[in-house]
Amino acid sequence: MNVIETTKLTKYYGKSRGIIDVDMTVAEGEIYGFIGPNGAGKSTTIRTLLGLIHPTSGSATIFGKDVTASGPEIRQEVGYLPSEVFYYDDMRVIDLLRYSASFYRKDRTAIEARIKSLAELFDLDLKKKIDDLSYGNKKKVGIIQGLAHEPKLIILDEPTGGLDPLIQQQFFHLLKEENAKGATILFSSHILSEVQKLCDRVAIIKDGSIIKVEQIKTLLENSTKRFKLELVETPVASAFAVDGVSDLAITNHSVSFLYRGRVNEITKMLAEQDLVDFLVEEPDLEEIFMHYYKKEDEQ
């Protein structure tokens, strides 16, 4: 069964583009990545799914029900963490979380117990005023209000901003636990490595349209890395004519290029070079789009 299904979902803000003809299916029990640069339409899609904004055309269903017609009913089983969190400044953390819990039909004592255990896990003081929290701690409040009622669908819109690496790890661990218990997760991000760690499948969105849906395995096999080399002597361009190399730039003794393919092939080539230093890094999404997906579009 599909938990989320959108058909030609389109949203315009006046004349400016939000998303165009988005077809997306998220299966039950899946962790579905939703990746694209800022402004590509990730938040627009998510906000439409939540009924915060209404589609211009096309439709979307969650649990088989239309998001516009059955919004409140659907949201009984949805937990949502937005990219930026804002809560009522005059409330204490526990008041906010109880207020949040009061909207759900689930057993109140069970939710309360879960709030306590999650607060302990994330080391969050429930008695503090929202106004006095740091941004990272507000984000923790966001995680708890999104997960306390044990929703069947968890929607996360760039959730990791403001979380330190340790908390991020605990958060990912928690998400995997929820997923193991049966929750479906839609995880939006502009950071590829984040999505790689967590997701089964990933949709890539660009300029309001989904340009590719791939298994994370395929994406990893095709993973592109940026290489930066420092050499003893000025390199010759022909030495780098290996399959999978693109965006080659040589300045004095340094070389920079993108490589996509088997790691063994490139290390063989590297072994022949007289290296002073080298660096391999994750290219940012823009680069992947520029050198991978753009080319595929042209083909």
Partner 1 sequence: MNIYLREMKAHRTGLIWWCIGMVGLVASGMAKYDAYQAAGVSVQEMMAGMPKAVLTVFGMTGFDLTKASGFYGVLFLYIGLMAAIHAALLGSHLVSKEERDRTSEFLYAKPVSRNHALTSKLLAGLTMLVIFNLATLLSSFYFVNLFGQGESVGADIRILMMGLFLMQLIFFTIGTAVAGVIRKPKAAPSIAMSIMFTAFLVSYLVNMSENLQFLKYLSPFKYYDAAVLMADGRLDPVYVALSVGIVALAVLGTYRFYSARDLSV
Binding-site ranges for partner 1 (CB under 8 A): 13, 47, 50-54, 71-76, 78, 80, 82, 84-90, 99-100, 102-105, 145
User: C-beta of 41: minimal distance to partner 1 in Å?
Assistant: 15
Q: Which is nearer to partner 1, 82 or 159 (CB)?
A: 82
Q: Which is nearer to partner 1, 84 or 286 (CB)?
A: 84
Q: Which is nearer to partner 1, 72 or 165 (CB)?
A: 72
For 122-191, where are the alpha helices, taking DSSP H only? 135-147, 165-180
User: C-beta of 2: minimal distance to partner 1 in Å?
Assistant: 21
> What is the rounded distance in angstroms from the CA atom of residue 106 to the CA atom of residue 87?
22
Structure tokens at 195: 């999505």
CA distances from 44 to 5, 149, 232 (A): 15, 25, 50
User: C-beta of 171: minimal distance to partner 1 in Å?
Assistant: 18
- Name, in order, each residue with C-beta under 8 angstroms of 212's C-beta and a sequence gap of 6 or more: 203, 204, 293
For the chain, where are the alpha helices, taking DSSP H only? 42-49, 71-75, 93-101, 108-121, 135-147, 165-180, 192-198, 216-221, 263-271, 285-288, 294-298
Q: Which is nearer to partner 1, 89 or 221 (CB)?
A: 89
User: C-beta of 64: minimal distance to partner 1 in Å?
Assistant: 17
Q: Which is nearer to partner 1, 102 or 299 (CB)?
A: 102
User: C-beta of 96: minimal distance to partner 1 in Å?
Assistant: 9
